[in-house]
A and B are shown apart, each in its own frame.
Chain A
Amino acid sequence: MRMTLRLISAAVAFVSLVVWLFGGPNLGWTKTSLARESVDPVTGLRYITWEKTFLPGVDFLAASEAAAGILFGLSFLSRTIALNAKTKTDSNRP
């Protein structure tokens, strides 16, 4: 259990870091659409169209690393719980 939690924690931290790095790395907020500027050929007006895409930002990275940290913390807690359970079982033996 302890090892599983630590492995999941490491995987979450690593994958989110890789996703963030390959997405930019974007030092701004997470975006689900990106502005593309175009020019109208008749009027010469510049205008923006929004293209749906996912660009992870620092908030995505922070949330993922925090989740990984919580999982890592839980791994210590699980060890304590397991130890307490073992002590209880031993003390109940005749």
Chain B
Amino acid sequence: MKPTLMFALAPLACLLVQAAPLSFDFKDPKGVNQITFKLDAPLEAISGSASGVSGTVNFDPAAPDTLIGKIVVTTESMHVPNPMMKGHLHSDKWMDAAKYPEITFEVARVANVKTAGDETSADVTGDFTLKGVKKSITVPVRLTYLKGKLKDRVPNLQGDLLVLRSNFSIKRSDFGLNSGQFEDKVANEIQLSLSMSGQSVH
């Protein structure tokens, strides 16, 4: 290739590189990434969190509707403050952490995308897998793209951050979590709140 042609194509190549979606790794060494869950119960609501978050999300700030990715949460990382309750939660009667070690959400499509500045909101449809049961669900997601902010979290790294927030509910009966049982003791509805950030290293 002639040097003149190479110089002419260089800006185009730069544009193509910039337009490519960024890959964000959601394994956070700081332990900030987590999912909190809440179930109503007669004496006291059962609240806890799961911090074993990992996964990759491809996000293009110029085309947020092309979002794809998968978020994984380890079942073993689920924590509730009562030790007996935690034992029950991990047991084969409920989450069966030994047999089903992961809870996953894989993005299939994105709709109703609205972007204002760094903030993007969208309805994300994907496959949610819990205790081996896969169901397609649509959840409202709020994304915040923090360009060049990675160095503020990890001083030696240059890159961007993508903050993901979502609040939605699922029914335990839909995922075989003691379906139709103990509803007088534990509500059927599980309120979930996702708050996590991914990093894309340049």
Contacts and interface: CB of A to CB of B under 8 A. Distances in A.
B197 A43 contact: yes
A42 interface: yes
A45 B144 CA distance: 11
A48 B161 contact: no
Nearest to A33: B81
Nearest to B46: A29
A28 interface: yes
A58 B195 contact: no
A45 B85 contact: no
Contacts, number: 62
Contacts of A40: 30, 32, 197
Contacts of B195: 45-47
Contacts of A29: 43-44, 81-82, 85
A33 B195 CA distance: 21
A34 B81 contact: yes
B32 A43 contact: yes
B187 interface: no
A79 interface: no
Interface string B74-104: 0000010111010000000000000000000
A35 B32 contact: no
B153 interface: yes
Contacts of A43: 32, 144, 146, 149, 153, 161, 163, 197
A32 B81 CA distance: 6
Nearest to A26: B44
Given A28-B43, A47-B32, A58-B43, A42 B153 contact: yes
Contact of A48 (B30, B34, B153): B34
Contacts of B43: 27-29, 58
Contact of A30 (B49, B82, B165, B197): B82
A42 B144 CA distance: 12
A31 B44 CA distance: 12
Contacts of B107: none
A44 interface: yes
17 contacts: A27-B44, A28-B43, A29-B43, A29-B44, A32-B81, A32-B83, A35-B47, A42-B152, A43-B146, A43-B197, A45-B33, A45-B195, A45-B196, A47-B34, A47-B195, A50-B49, A50-B81
Interface of A: 27-35, 40, 42-50, 55, 57-58
Interface of B: 30-34, 36, 43-44, 47, 49, 79, 81-83, 85, 144, 146, 149, 152-153, 161, 163, 165, 195-197
